[in-house]
Amino acid sequence: MRRGIAYGSSPLLTSATPVWRSRLIVAGFALAFLGLAGRAAYVQVFGNEFYQRQGEVRFARTLELPANRGRVLDRNGLILATSVVAQSVWAIPEDVDRSHPKLPEMARLLGMSMTELNRRLDAHPTFVWMRRQVDEPVALQVRDLGIRGVYLRKEYKRQYPEGEAAAHVVGFTNVEDVGQEGIELAFNERLSGRPGSRRVIRDRLGRVIEDVREAIPPVDGQDIQLSIDSKIQFFAYERLRDAVREHKAKGGSIVVLDAVTGEVLALANYPSYNPNLRRNLSGEQLRNRALTDTFEPGSTVKPFIVALALERGLVKPDTVVDTSAGRMTMGGFTISDVKDYGPLTVNQVIQKSSNVGTVRLAMQMPARDMWETYVQAGFGQKPQVPFPGAVSGRLRAYKSWRPVEQATMSYGYGLSTSLFQLAQAYTVFARDGELVPVTLLRSDEKAKGVPVFSERHALAVRRMLEMATGPGGTAQRAQTVGYSVGGKTGTARVQEGKGYAARRYRSFFVGFAPVESPRVVVAVMIDEPSNGHYFGGVVAAPVFSATVQQTLRVLGVEPDMSVQPHIVAEVVEEPF
C-alpha cells in the first residue's frame, strides 16, 4: 500500500518566498530579452554594413564572364588561331573529403600523382585550380566521379591549325589567354576584348542561388586578318626545313614580301615549335630568327654601292673597272676575289660578285654618301612592324669610318642586319628605286614607297642581278621554271669574339621575280651549314627558287619565260 506524502508539512515548502527574488528573476529575463533585442537591432540596423560585408566575403562571388578572344586569319580568311571551349577543374579544398575512394581516379584523369593532388589541395583552403583547360571528355569524367568540393568552369583554349609552319608569326597565349609571342602578343589588346562579370550568392556547396546585380556581358575580341598566305607560308617553311636538314645547319629563316603592296606573305624559321604543345620548349625553338638575329650581309649589299655609283654619275653599266690581280691592299688589309677576273664592266662586277671591283667604286665616293644610302634602304633602322623582338641591326656613323672600313662595308662587312631588313631593302630594286613599307596586315592597295634611287638606275641594277642568276653568275641555282629571277648571293663568316670563327658561315640569298615587273621579294638565310657546302649560291639559292615558283603560281602571276633553267657545270661563288 502506497503511503501519501504531505507536502504541506515540509518546512521548505511552507516558507514564504521573498518578493525581491521573483522580481529579480523577472528583471533578469527582461534584461536578457532587451540585450537580444539590442543586439538584433545592431546587427540588422546599426551594424548592418559590416555583417553584410562578412556575408559577402563568405558567400558572394564575382564571376568573370570571359570574352571570346578574336581569331587570327590569313589573307584568304583561313584560320591561323582560334578559341575553343575548354573546361577547367577547380576545388574548395576544405570541402573535399580526403578519404574519398575516387580521388586517385581523379588524379589519374588529370595527369597528376596523388602527391601533387594533395599538394594542390593543401595550398589554399577555399579555392585552388586542379587543372586548367582540360579536354571536354576528361572534364565530364571528373564531374561524374561525384567528389564533393570539386567543380568545373568553362574557359577558352587557343588552337593553332597551322602548327609549326606559322608558329613564329602567330605566336601563342598563356593559360590566362594573354598573348605571349608573335601576333598574339603584338595585337593582344585588340584580340582580347573585354570580359564581363556576374555578382552572385553561392551556398557552401558552391551552387549559385541568387544574382546580386545585373550581369555585365563580355565584349568579344576583334579578328585580325594578316597578310600571310597560309599556302605560301607552309610551302616556304617546308623548303626551309628540308634545306636546314640537308645541309646539317643550326637553323634558317625565310621571308616572302609582296613587292607591290608591301605585305608579308610568309615568314618562317627552323627550328620551330608546335604552339598547341608547348612543353619543354627551348629558346632555340622560340627565337624568331628572321627578326631577332643579325648578321653581316656580305655581298648582298654590293648592288646598293653600284646603284649609288650610277646615281652619282661616276660610272655606267658598261664602264670597265680594273680588278687585275684579283686583290688589293688597304691599310695593311688585303681585299681579294676568288680569282683574277681582270677588267670587268660594272655589270660583271655584280655578276661575278667582285670585292675588288666594288671597293674601287666605293672609294670614289664620300663615306657619308654610302652611309646615307644604307640608312635610306633601312639598314640600322628598326623595321616598322608591330612584332616583338625586332632589332635594328648595326650601322656606325660614317664619321667614325676609316678608309679600310669604308672598303669592307662596301661588300657587307662592318655592318649587321636582320633577314627581314634585307628583304625589305631589296624592294628598292623590285619597285624601281623605292623602299616599300612592309605590313603584316592584309592590304589590297599598292604601297607608297620612299625614293632611294632613280627608276633608271634601279632598273639597271635589276638587270645586273638577273645576270647574277644566269650563266657565269654566282646564283645559277636560283633560276626557276617559267619565271625570270634576279638576286644576289651572300656568304659571311660567323663572328666570334673580335674575329671570325674558322669554318663557320652563314649562307643567304635575296632576290625578286619576275624581273620585268617584280611581284615578290624572297630572302633566305641558312645558319652554319656543315655538310660540305656553305656558299649562298648552293645552299640558299635553291630554297629561293622553289619558293618563288610556288608563290607566283599561288598569286596567279603569268609565267614570263618558256625555257627551263640553264645551269652550267661550273658555279661561280662569291668571296667573303
DSSP 44: I
Nearest to 224 by CA among 183, 262, 263: 183
Residue 14: half-sphere exposure toward Cβ, Cα within 13 Å: 6
Nearest to 457 by CA among 485, 429, 427: 429
- Exposed, middle or buried, 195 (CB in 10 Å: 0-12/13-18/19+)? middle
Catalytic annotation, pick one of 253, 299, 418, 545: 299
Is 299 annotated as catalytic? yes
Phi, psi (deg, nearest 5) at residue 522: -130, 130
Strand partners, 343: 322
Question: What SS3 class is residue 336?
Answer: strand
Is residue 136 within 8 A of residue 86, CB to CB? The reply is yes
User: 454's torsion region: left (phi>0), alpha (psi -120 to 50) or beta?
Assistant: beta
Beta 520-527 vs 499-513: how paired, if at all?
Answer: antiparallel
Instruction: Give me the amino acid identity at 347.
Output: N
Distances (CA, A) of 408 to 113, 122, 315, 344: 62, 65, 20, 20
Distances (CA, A) of 78 to 75, 161, 162, 223: 7, 9, 10, 12
For 506, the enclosing helix (H) or strand (E) is strand 499-513
Is residue 361 within 8 A of residue 346, CB to CB? The reply is yes
Give the Cα separation of 320 and 323 in Å (integer): 9
Nearest to 300 by CA among 403, 402, 133, 424: 424
Give the Cα separation of 130 and 307 in Å (integer): 64
Q: Which residues of 100-122 are buried (b: 16+ CB within 10 A; e: fewer)?
A: beebeebbebbebeeeebeebbe
Give the Cα separation of 284 and 270 in Å (integer): 9
Strand partners, 158: 83
Strand partners, 91: 128, 150
Strand partners, 435: 450
Is the omega angle on the peptide bond into residue 125 within 30 degrees of 0, that is, cis? no
Place of cell 616599300: 436
For 360, the enclosing helix (H) or strand (E) is helix 355-362
Give the Cα separation of 335 and 576 in Å (integer): 10
Strand partners, 338: none
Beta 499-513 vs 434-435: how paired, if at all?
Answer: unpaired
For 526, the enclosing helix (H) or strand (E) is strand 520-527
- Catalytic residue set: 299
